[in-house]
Chains A and B, each alone.
Chain A
Amino acid sequence: MSDNPDSKSQLAGNTDTHAPGWYLQSMEAGKMMLYTSAVTQNVMQRSDNSMSVVGLPSHGSISDWTICIFPEDLPYVENAFRSLTPDEPNYKIEYRFRHAVTGRRFWVLDSGTAEFDEDENPQCMRGAILNISSGVRDETDIRDSARLHSIEAEAAQMGIWHFDRLSNRLTFSNELLALLEIDRTTFGNNPEAIIRRVHPDDLAIWRQERKKIFAPGGKLEFEFRVIFPQRNIRWFLVRGHMVRRPDGVELESYGVMIDVTERKDSEKHQTMLLRELSHRVSNTLAVIQSIMRQTLRAKNDPEAFAQAFEGRINSLAVSHTLLTNADWQGGTLSDLINIQLRGIVDNLESKIVLHGPEIVLPAETATQIGLVLHELGTNAVKYGALSVDTGKISISWTLLPGKVQLVWREQGGPPIGEVPSYTGFGTSLISQSVDSMNSSYDHAGLICRMELLL
């Protein structure tokens, strides 16, 4: 024995149960508090460590104890005590308690025995209170474990969150706060204010999906938009799950939030591209069908049909190649002229002269003009300037606001009298495809003027 029985160094290793501090030290370590309550007098006597365990003085009342019990658990507790009888005087109940000083909430196991008077009324309760909360973490713990993941998290644009079910406290890791551009002091005071940052259109989803974590085996996984101080919007994926005690009681939930804006943007872009592609394909098929039918109207002979049809489909194909090489942003007029006439005319460079500024035609316009050029070229080879060696073609164009004026001029071809009149698909195609056209002949040959709206 020593002079100072409370000195830790003297008690450490002391296995003498008669030493004064022994019990208290052990109880302290085990977060246990002993009590006796006198029911009718509303008196509750607690062990000397009651202030630290529950925040109440050792001498107090049953009322000051009851006040600290969670209101939702009161009916359960009162019921349990009311059902005690001399035959069944023992109790062992669990309920939630709020520390009278710190406000910290935890679960307690309250076990003991009731003593009854002759009229079988409970007179006295005698028992022990044990703090059985597990998994309650404070901010320091969050940050510590978050530090372990921080490198990974930062690289992944990810942050960790934690929600303590008992204290209803939501905490975000430093990474998450940084990701969301939230100041810790602002957040610390009112974490639920995160709801103000949720995009109004996603609020319904947010409220609905959050609930899923409370279902048995519940997991959280959904995406929503967050509005940032600079008014820009980013997408976040939340994932999480609930930790429960073996009896199903919810203790805490935690998880991650990941910035998935880039992925969402690229998904959106891809969806848009697919829709556009689908639309183009439908249109192209319809165009081919139209070419087929109209060629059929003009050419009765299968041989003639096949040749004309193939030529026109080929014109479409080469236009498409040109456009694909330009990533469907459009093709230049000079490239288009070259590519359309190359298949029809030998020695293209010696027969055709181009003159005009570099113009990029939008994709749909390019395809149509391609067909027109194909028609004009085919006709020139069959009947016009290119049907003789001396023939030449000059193609010139000017750019005006919102339109292009193009002139196709044939020279050195066969005498006018021998040129047949063009009917059918060729002419109507040309006149339909361009926004205005007129053809005439001068002493040299066919002159075709057209205007294309851009």
Chain B
Amino acid sequence: MLDGVRVLVVEDEPLIAMELVLTIEEAGGVIAGSVRSLTEAIEAARTTDFDVALLDVRMRDGTTFSVAKILSVRKIPFLFCTGDSEQRDEFRDWPDVPLVSKPHKPENVIAVLSKLLANRR
């Protein structure tokens, strides 16, 4: 499914991050990084090597749209993880980015990640 694919996980709730990490590893993916703050996320987005990213939109210290911009420039595909509170119009600048809602289904996350990578090739 995700054979050796390197994934960056951006999620500030540790248990949710843990679950995502385990889900990805169980599907054969490799965790390039699991960051819990916006600052770390921006740093990782700029400097780390990875194939795809998972961005929790609302972190405690801000939204990850700035990270999304960096990834767009680097042409690395990504998806947004959203809770219910996000309004649709927040995503109007990102019409093509897939949204996965919380709580997530592992199969769903893997499916979306696979699709992102397939589109890229």
Contacts and interface: CB of A to CB of B under 8 A. Distances in A.
B84 A286 contact: no
A289 B101 CA distance: 13
A422 B73 CA distance: 43
Nearest to B21: A432
B95 interface: no
A282 B84 contact: yes
Interface in A172-198: none
Contact of B22 (A281, A288, A294, A368): A294
Contact of A293 (B22, B58, B83, B84): B22
B63 to A, nearest CB: 12
Contacts of B15: 286-287, 290-291, 294, 368, 371, 429, 432-433
A287 B60 CA distance: 16
A428 interface: yes
Sort chain B's interface into a size bin. 10 to 19
Contacts of A287: 13, 15-16
B103 A285 contact: yes
B28 interface: no
B85 A275 contact: yes
B14 interface: yes
A286 B104 contact: yes
Contact of A278 (B13, B83, B103): B83
A275 B82 CA distance: 13
Contacts of A278: 83-85
A432 B84 contact: no
Contacts of B60: 364
Given A278-B85, A282-B84, A290 B58 contact: no
A368 B17 CA distance: 13
Nearest to A272: B85
Contacts of B19: 286, 289-290, 293-294
B23 to A, nearest CB: 8
A279 B90 CA distance: 15
Q: Taking each of A278, A290, A432, which has the highest tally of chain B beta carbons within 10 Å of its own beta carbon? A: A290
A155 B93 CA distance: 47
A283 interface: yes
B-side interface mostly:
mixed
A154 interface: no
B102 interface: yes
Interface string B79-121: 0000111000000000000000111101000000000000000
A286 B23 CA distance: 13
A429 B85 contact: no
B18 interface: yes
Contacts of A432: 14-15, 17-18
B18 A279 contact: no
A265 interface: no
Nearest to B26: A297
Given A281-B84, A286-B102, A294 B18 contact: yes
A368 B103 contact: no
Contacts of A293: 19, 22, 106
Interface string B40-68: 00000000000000000010100000000
Nearest to B58: A279
A311 to B, nearest CB: 15
Indicate the member of A286, A371, A429 with the most B CB atoms within 10 Å. Answer: A286
B18 A283 contact: no
A276 B101 CA distance: 16
Nearest to B17: A432
Interface string A271-311: 00001101101110111111101100100000000000000
Nearest to B16: A286
A282 B60 CA distance: 14
Contacts of B102: 282-283, 285-286
A290 B84 CA distance: 18
B84 A279 contact: yes
A291 B60 CA distance: 21
Contacts of A291: 15
B13 A364 contact: yes
B83 A290 contact: no
Contacts of B13: 283, 286-287, 364
Contacts of A285: 102-103
A368 B103 CA distance: 18
B104 to A, nearest CB: 7
Contacts of B106: 293
Interface of A: 275-276, 278-279, 281-283, 285-291, 293-294, 297, 364, 368, 371, 428-429, 432-433
Given A279-B85, A285-B103, A294-B22, 6 more contacts: A279-B83, A286-B19, A287-B13, A289-B104, A290-B16, A364-B60
8 closest A-B pairs (Cβ-Cβ)?
A282-B83, A290-B19, A286-B103, A279-B85, A290-B15, A275-B85, A278-B85, A286-B102
15 contacts: A276-B85, A278-B84, A278-B85, A282-B83, A282-B103, A283-B83, A286-B16, A287-B13, A287-B16, A289-B19, A297-B22, A428-B18, A429-B18, A432-B14, A433-B14
